[in-house]
A and B are shown apart, each in its own frame.
Chain A
Amino acid sequence: MKMLKSTLAVVAAAAALGVSSFAQAGATLDAIQKKGFIQCGVSDGLPGFSVPDKDGTIKGIDADFCRAVAAAVFGDAKKVKFSQLNAKERFTALQSGEIDILSRNTTWTSSRDASMGLVFPGFVTYYDGVGFLANSKLGVKSAKELDGATICIQAGTTTELNVSDYFRANGLKYTPITFDTSDESAKSLESGRCDVLTSDKSQLYAQRSKLASPKDYIVLPETISKEPLGPVVRRGDEEWTTIVRWVGYALLNTEEAGVTSKNVEAEAKSTKNPDVARLLGADGDYGPQLKLPKDWVVKIVAQVGNYGEIFEKNLGKSTALEIDRGQNALWNAGGIQYAPPVR
């Protein structure tokens, strides 16, 4: 057994080495330009993040991020192909070169960043975290008041650990009921088997919209864990990593500067604001420094929108999810989304 294990370890290490040695600076961008599209890994169906509509077009904030990268590289947001991946195969697909970028609600953690031949460029598409969905009849306003509550949890997720940590730290008691699927746990909340349902906050909103009367349930304000979700690329190609990172920052910077898909063309021609001029390529060579066209930001915003627009379109009040900006608001609007300047 021991020998088998060590053999496996050697094989895995060889595989990892082999994979990382393929990635060379600049290779990804060259390959992408040669094949003419970006292969983007998304989830196999997560409301608001990446889910196919009736015609198979992938909708969601994760999918739109890939479109933004395509707009920056090719000037055409349509030059992206999606691979729908499940949680198990997502990293292999990236390591093996099947996809160029993984944008699949993946939590940025130190072990993932350091040990798998992958790297998180540093842009966070969505600050998520574990939260609680409660029946408003309980009259609970905060998670601190949940002493003695019965809590529905999805089995085998890190949520389980987070909840137990949180309750222990606050000296509260609770009774967990675990379920296999989110549909089951939503049904039990509805039937009153549990007082509170817990999951990643982004998913709580989706859960709530499944209930017969969503208005009777509230998402409590506490977020008890950090789950920054962001894109991932292969380790070892700095150029491509930088491009992905700055496409993300461009989305934030344009929102901050008030540049939207409606006014971006006009702003690019006639802006007086030097920050906006630099951002939109009217001044300086900031695009070519990244090996992107000069008007890369214009293309992104014109075709996909700025961060605020993407958020609203996929997760915001106009959708069934009705998610608040919360932590995902810009730094100057009460959130923690902050981007370094284009300069």
Chain B
Amino acid sequence: MTSHIFKPDMPPPSKVFGPVAWMRQNLFSNWLNTLLTLFAIYLIWLVVPPLLSWAIFDANWVGTTRADCTKAGACWVFIEQRFGQFMYGYYPQELRWRVDLTVWLAIIGAAPLFIKAVPRKAVYGLCFLVLYPIIAYVLLHGGFGLQEVATSQWGGLMLTLVIATVGIAGALPLGVILALGRRSDLPAIRVLCVTFIEFWRGVPLITVLFMSSVMLPLFLPEGMNFDKLLRALIGVIMFQSAYVAEVVRGGMQAIPKGQYEAAAAMGLGYWRRMGLVILPQALKMVIPGLVNTVIALFKDTSLVIIIGLFDLLNSVKQAAADPTWLGMATEGYVFAALVFWIFCFGMSRYSMHLERKLDTGHKR
């Protein structure tokens, strides 16, 4: 018996596979594409090398004062020196561990919710949602033997995160209730919810904040002053809940009528019908919309400059106005943009992951 020896496989023809073929197909397929490709390469060459040399190769990395920035590139010393201010605002230096601890508690506390094997997630999650805000408030603001830190000293990334998380944590439940109310059969409730939503959606956030800081104090008796941050938070929650409500309502409208009828046919009351059948499906469907709202809110926090609160962006602005660091605005803004981008990109990646995980096949 003669054994048959196969010849070794030939490499694929380089005109069909491989990087060269890919380039021929996608970048240089005709004269127009070739021209566009060359133009794009020229643009990259124009922008990227100077950018890299400014941000990395010619940048100043070590030092303590402005005088240490001798090279032509960016002066990252400024960011290094003011990093604490960008993160914590003017939170007292010796108490900043409390902010760190709050963040760690959030991460550690929320971790079990993301691990599959942990039992009784619902109960744990509920406890966490009730207990954590109290602990966080005490840690950040003081009380129970902890030294009090006025909210006027809060700032930087910490303030951004506080406004964004409290804003969304407050707006989500309120928004869901408003969405339910808007689709309710009871006219009084429906009119109330529609009015609320349309009012808050009809005014820009900047107006809400402005009213809360400039007009509200004039109507209150002298000496009675709400905390500025609290005013901002209430404004943000009201404003965002209207948006969340509309997003959720969109999801509820997409649920086929049969689902409502089937739930009713099983003898479920209104709350169980909504809570067990409709909302789980609706909320899952509107994840992209909700995340969109969260990201928009996260970035809108910078508007609190209007009422004299100093979030990340405004801390940067303020630090750049310091006579000892004049002219460092560009570095500061680049840094702020980077931090914002990291957070927003992270949120959008997480939402994509969540969509895949919860996907039970309603796709058409």
Contact = CB atoms under 8 A, between A and B. Distances in A.
Nearest to B155: A56
Contacts of A277: none
B288 to A, nearest CB: 34
28 contacts: A15-B218, A18-B218, A19-B218, A44-B310, A44-B314, A44-B318, A45-B317, A45-B321, A45-B322, A51-B318, A52-B90, A52-B318, A53-B322, A54-B84, A54-B85, A55-B90, A88-B214, A88-B306, A89-B214, A89-B307, A89-B308, A95-B218, A96-B222, A97-B223, A183-B329, A206-B326, A209-B327, A320-B323
5 shortest interchain CB distances as A-B pairs: A56-B90, A96-B217, A45-B321, A210-B327, A97-B222
B219 interface: yes
A220 interface: no
B305 interface: yes
B213 interface: yes
B157 to A, nearest CB: 15
Interface of A: 15, 18-19, 22, 31, 44-48, 51-56, 83-86, 88-89, 92-93, 95-98, 183, 186, 206, 209-211, 319-321
Interface in B285-332: 305-308, 310, 314, 317-318, 321-324, 326-327, 329
Nearest to B220: A96
Contacts of B85: 54, 56
Given A55-B90, A209-B326, A319-B323, A85 B308 contact: yes
B310 A84 contact: yes
What interface size band does chain B fall in?
Answer: 35 or more
Interface in B131-168: 152-153
Contacts of B253: none
Nearest to B223: A97
B82 interface: yes
B324 A320 contact: yes
A259 B82 CA distance: 37
Given A47-B321, A89-B306, A96-B225, 8 more contacts: A54-B85, A56-B153, A92-B218, A95-B218, A96-B222, A98-B225, A206-B323, A209-B326
B184 interface: no
Contacts of B314: 44
A22 B84 CA distance: 41
Contacts of B153: 56
Interface string B198-232: 00000000000010011101111111010000000
A97 B310 CA distance: 22
A183 B316 CA distance: 14
B93 interface: yes
A85 B214 CA distance: 11
A55 B223 CA distance: 28
B81 interface: yes
A95 B225 CA distance: 12
Contact of B323 (A47, A89, A95): A47
Contact of A86 (B93, B305, B321, B326): B305
Contacts of B214: 88-89, 92
Nearest to A15: B218
Nearest to B216: A96
Contact of B308 (A22, A54, A83, A96): A83
Contacts of B89: 56
A55 B327 contact: no
Contacts of A45: 317-318, 321-322
